[in-house]
Each structure stands twice: as C-alpha cells, then as structure tokens.
Chain A
C-alpha cells in the first residue's frame, strides 16, 4: 500500500468539504478558510510522510504520473504558496466566500504539474491551474479586475492552443504520449522539431519569458492582491516544474535542440525584465516585472541542463517565493482597503511603521540578491550551475540582470525611508493571519541566507530525479 498520490487526493477531498462549508455557513464564511487551511496542512503532512517512505519513485496509471522526490518538493513549494495566498487574503469580504475553494483547485493543478509524465496529464495540470486563476483574477468585480481576468483568459487560451498543437505534432513524430518513452533518436525529425518548439513556446508563455511576457504586468496589476501573490509564486513553480520535467525526461539526450535557445531567452529575460522594472511607478507592476526577471533566473537552471541546474532551480524557487510572500503581505497591509499601491504611497513608511519597512527591506534585498538573504544563495547556486555547464554567458547575463535589478529594488526602499512631506496618516492595521505569513517569510528568508544546508540537502536529493527513472 502506497500513499503516493494521497497529497493530491486529500486536496480533492478538501475541495468538496470546503464547498460544503461554504454552503452550510453561507455569509460567515470563516469556516471555509479554516477547512482550506486544514486541507493544506493535511496534504503537507502526507507529503512529508511520502518523503521518508521507501517505495519511491513510483509510476502510476500506466506511466501517466510519476511520484518521486522532485514531485514531492514541488508539492511542498506549492503548498507554501497556497497557504501564503490563503492567509494573506484571510476572510477578506472583498474576495467572496469561494476564495478558498478556488485556491485549492489551483493548488491541485500545480501539484499535478509536478508529477506529470504524460502529455494528457501535462495539459490537465495546466488547465486545472489556469481555470481557477482566471476566475480569481476577475473575482474582485471591479473594472480592472475584470480586465485582468479577460486578458489572462484570452492569452491563456491562446498559449494553451500553441501548447496543444505542439504536443499533437510530437505525438505524431513519436507515437507515444509518455515523456519517458519519447525517443528522439527514432523520431521523424522535422515533425519533432516543430512540435518541440511549439510546446516550449506554449510553456514559456505560461512562465512569462520575455518575448511572451506582455500579459503579465497587466494581469498582475489588475488582479486582487492575494491572487497576484499566488500567481507570482505558485504558477511560476508549476510552470518551471513542468518545463524541467518535460525537457529532462523527454529530451535529455538531445539538449542541443533546446539548451542554447532557452539560454538566449534566459539572458534576454533577465536583462529586459529588470530594466523594465526600473521604470515602474506601481509596486504591483514592479513586482510583476521582477517576476518576469526571476522567471529568467529559473530558466538559467533549466538551460544549464545538469544536476546542478535542477538543484539550483528547485532551491531558488523557495527564497523567491518567500520574498514574494513577504513583499505582497507588506503591500496588503499598507494598501488596506485599496487594491494597489504606488511607490509614492510608500513615502515615510519607515516612520509610520518601522517594522513593516524593515520587513520590506529584507524582501527587496532578497529579490535583489544581497548576501545574508536567501536570494543571494539561490543566485549563487544558479551561477555555479551555469559555470559547471560551461556556459559563462548565462552567468554573466545573470550578474548583469541582478545589478540592474538592484537599482529597481532600491527605489521603493528609498521612498520608504524618506521623510513624509505632509501629515502622518492613520496607523497601519496588522491582520493576524497576514502577519504570520509576513514574519515566517522574513525569518525564513534570512534563515535561508545564513544557514541553507537543510534545504540544500533536500533539493540535492530531489534533483537526482532524472537519473533514476
């Protein structure tokens, strides 16, 4: 008896229980949030139990899914993302009583992406992830929120179409749907090349790499804040995980087909994303461009194509996500009833609330990659992976991107520590759930920077996934 898929099953059960909770306690919907959080905790406990079980890796449903150390680490990351988003939006009347249900459904999609080993599961994971997020993006009911949802929907349907056609051509070239049964040596080459190109373009669209990034800032800006947090952390984890799994399982012997192309895209994304972040006046847009740049860093780990790359990518996702959680929690506190925050609104934050300013500083410095924060260690491992893969260009691009990014991240801090011109406004409220997320994220960011060894141990074990199948 193996409990391999029980993290996913428990989330499915949690979805139904949460829906029942919404129906039973209609208006006072706090119960649904508790059920959602309990589901995430239970799923996390089962994931940890799976980690120590001896029966992994295991392929289930005719090689449709593979549960291994990689998928369990992805599970852990997306569970953190879901818990963070749920608690930042904890019992907020603006997002309606169905917020936890949709968060859990999207969580399921992200978990499925971590263990896909088959075109059908890949597509199902992408759609299970996207459909709830379309709704969440539009759920606020204001004009901007609806536009964000509409834009996300149209671009999502378009990129899914590209992805599907690529998968169809790959199916024609190889005759199989299973990643590990793909054999590039015996494929019909032009078909396989076209299919691989379209599939990668479709996935890269979802990840938000530079020529295909134009939808991200508008969607992030218009969506409600907890949803933006969830997108910035969770969908990046899911998209990076499936891209890595698809390429490393299906085309690991032919890295020459995709490695260089992804390398150029990574450098372009890191530089352009950080440059555009410099010009932003809205904090959510700034973080959106930061998310684009960070997707470029993630792509370095994939295009390095070795075990160091896999390890660096898995490690980097954690400090990136924690910094995103902390930054968005601060925005949520300062913005209060509003849904966005310009850089000018930050002016004098250090005098209104020194703690918030300090936490924001930690998050921004981690995104910029300053030593003693998790972001620095993550970037260090990425540079190491690029150098071990004999691709110094990637490392140089990463350093240049990080330098430009530093300037972009310092700007909000400069505002926060400058003296406010006029009257001091009302004190900032600290919602309990959001404060927990903020404190945990900040402490973990610093902890990762000072003592990363335990996490490194876990991702080392996990990154060995693709030698073992």
Chain B
C-alpha cells in the first residue's frame, strides 16, 4: 500500500520546483515547461485524493487537466515560434520593455 499523504507531499514539492522554475529562469521554453510541471503536480494530487476517496471525480479532473494542457501547449508553442521569428532571440526580459 502506497502512502497517499506522501504522494501529496511529492506533488507539493514538484509544484514548488515548477514555481521556482517559472520565476527564476528567463527562457520562455523552460518557463513554459516549468508551468506544465505545476499542472502535472496538481493532477497527481487530484489522482491521489481520488484514490483516497474511492471517487472518480478527481480522475476526471486530472483528465481534463491533461487535455487542456495539450491545447495550451499547442497555442503556447505557436506564440513562441512567432515571437522568435520577429526577434531571433528568446529572452523574456530582453524582449519586453518593463516600464513598471
């Protein structure tokens, strides 16, 4: 029997790693992957709790997360490619004029 609360802890750790990645890295591709990891961590926690309640609802939510992630990645990569075509350089701070 696997310890469900430890899986939730693992999910929280992955969530934190993803959040750190989004905040610290500047390459949009890596930031985007880190955000995907946050979504994955949430899906893992949903599945763990679904197992604990013996209810399918959490698994349905995880399935919706996976499907939405697919759509989001399609759009996100299209945007990244089109930005790259304009700038020939990928760097979130360099491309944007942060004016406060």
Contact = CB atoms under 8 A, between A and B. Distances in A.
A complexed with B: yes
Interface of A: 119-120, 123-124, 127, 131, 134-135, 138, 141-143, 146-147, 149-151, 153-154, 157-158, 160-162, 164-165, 167-169, 171-172, 175-177, 217-218, 276, 285
Interface in B9-65: 11-12, 15, 18-19, 22, 28, 31-32, 35-36, 38-39, 41-43, 45-46, 48-49, 52-53, 55, 57-58, 60-61, 64-65
Contacts of B22: 154, 158, 161
Contact of B96 (A124, A162, A218): A218
29 contacts: A131-B72, A131-B75, A134-B76, A138-B83, A143-B83, A143-B87, A150-B28, A150-B79, A153-B72, A153-B76, A154-B31, A154-B32, A154-B35, A157-B36, A157-B38, A158-B22, A158-B35, A161-B15, A161-B35, A162-B19, A164-B65, A165-B45, A168-B42, A169-B45, A172-B8, A172-B52, A218-B98, A276-B100, A285-B99
B68 A149 contact: no
Given A127-B71, A153-B76, 4 more contacts: A124-B68, A168-B46, A176-B57, A177-B61
A123 B64 contact: yes
A296 B88 CA distance: 39
A134 B61 contact: no
Interface of B: 8, 11-12, 15, 18-19, 22, 28, 31-32, 35-36, 38-39, 41-43, 45-46, 48-49, 52-53, 55, 57-58, 60-61, 64-65, 68, 71-72, 75-76, 78-80, 82-83, 86-87, 92, 95-96, 98-100
Contacts of B75: 131, 134-135, 153
A146 B81 CA distance: 10
Chain B interface main SS type = helix
Given A146-B79, A158-B22, A120 B60 contact: yes
Contacts of B71: 127, 131
Contacts of B80: 150
Contact of B19 (A135, A161, A276): A161
Given A154-B28, A171-B46, A217-B99, A165 B76 contact: no
Nearest to B63: A120
Between A120, A157, A160, A217, the greatest number of chain B beta carbons within 10 A of the residue's beta carbon is seen for A157
Contacts of B68: 123-124, 127
A164 B96 contact: no
A157 B76 contact: yes
A131 B36 CA distance: 15
A157 B35 contact: yes
Contacts of B60: 120
Contact of B49 (A131, A142, A171, A218): A171
A119 B45 CA distance: 14
Interface-centre pick from B11, B58, B68, B95 (highest chain A CB count, 10 A): B68
Contacts of A276: 100
A177 B64 CA distance: 14
Given A127-B72, A131-B75, A151 B92 contact: yes
A153 B79 contact: yes
Contacts of A162: 19, 38
A291 to B, nearest CB: 16
A161 B18 contact: yes
